[in-house]
Structure 1
Amino acid sequence: MKPYCEIVAQYVLPTMRALIAKKLMEKYKLTQQNAALKLGLTQSAISQYMRNLRGSKIKSIEKDENIKKEIEIFVDRIASGELNSLTTLGSFCNICKTIRKRKLLCDIHTKVFPDIKDCRICLE
């Protein structure tokens, strides 16, 4: 059995990190090293996100307008230095909750674990 959190760790977090890293570098012209420092990641992880070697499996997250707006706000707050480590975690978790409520992972979750096709846990 693969609980939702395992799907999040395997698919959502890398996708979110990739989107955030790309926005930081494109919008704020950060280097890979500076983006890595802001996100608490390695430069090599950022490099892999930029080359779509990591974090490019969930297109539904990348295309969702609500998620894109939340990520845009999050990136602006990171770049401005407004967020500290604790508030960064909270904001990251809020984006993940939105992904869950919008059922953006249900298809992937049921492909990985078909027995849960009638699951409604994310909607509670």
Structure 2
Amino acid sequence: MQAPCEIIGKKVLPSIRGIIVRYMYEELGLTQIQIARLLGVSQSSISRYINQQRGKWTAMSASKDLEEKIQEITKLLIDKKINREEILCEICRYIRATHPEVLAESSRIFHGNL
């Protein structure tokens, strides 16, 4: 048996990071170095998210309100109103409260039922 956080950590969080990185890069015009510093990861990791070598699970982008919430929380990080350790937990709480279908889908994928 797997806890929801384990499933989310394996499938959902990398996709969230991908959405965050691509939003910062494509929409906000931040450089890979700036994004890496904000998120506390390497520039090469940022490059992999931008090029969709990581975090490319498309089910995360299916919901417009979810994507908007991710962007809203990302802006809080940029404005230093939330720290990078909290951003993924905040988004995870939102998903669990408002989008149980994302957790259900990730659980099926995680357990190989698709």
Q: State the TM bucket, normalised to the shorter chain.
A: 0.7 to 0.9
Instruction: Decide whether aligned partners of structure 1 residues 109 and 36 sit closer, same or farther in structure 2, where only a CA change above 3 A counts.
Output: same
TM (norm. structure 2) is 0.82
2:86 maps to 1:90 = yes
Flag the structure with more relative contact order, 1 or 2, with Cα contacts below 8 A and sequence separation at least 6. 2
Which protein has the larger Cα radius of gyration, Structure 1 or Structure 2? 1
- Give CA-to-partner distance per residue, 1:65-118, whole Å, 9 cap, x none: 2211111112222223333x3xx4334312112222311120231343379xxx
Q: Which runs of 5+ in 2 are unaligned?
A: none
Match of 1:39 in 2: 39
Deviation, 1:13, is: 1.3
Instruction: Give structure 1 stretches of 5+ with no counterpart.
Output: 116-124
Q: Is the 8 A contact 2:18 2:49 kept in 1?
A: yes
Deviation of the 1:27 alpha carbon: 2.3
* Identity in percent: 27
Number of residue-to-residue matches in the alignment? 111
Residue 12 of structure 1 corresponds to 12
SS of corresponding position for 1:105: helix
Offset at 1:3?
2.7
SS of alignment partner, residue 55 of structure 1: coil
Which deviates the most, 44-53 or 22-31? Answer: 22-31
Task: Tell me the CA shift for residue 18 of structure 1.
Answer: 0.9
Matches of 2:12 and 2:110 in 1, distance apart? 14
Alignment RMSD: 2.1
TM-score normalised to structure 1 length: 0.76
> Which has the larger displacement, 40-49 or 24-33?
24-33
**Which 4+ runs in 1 deviate beyond 6 A?**
none
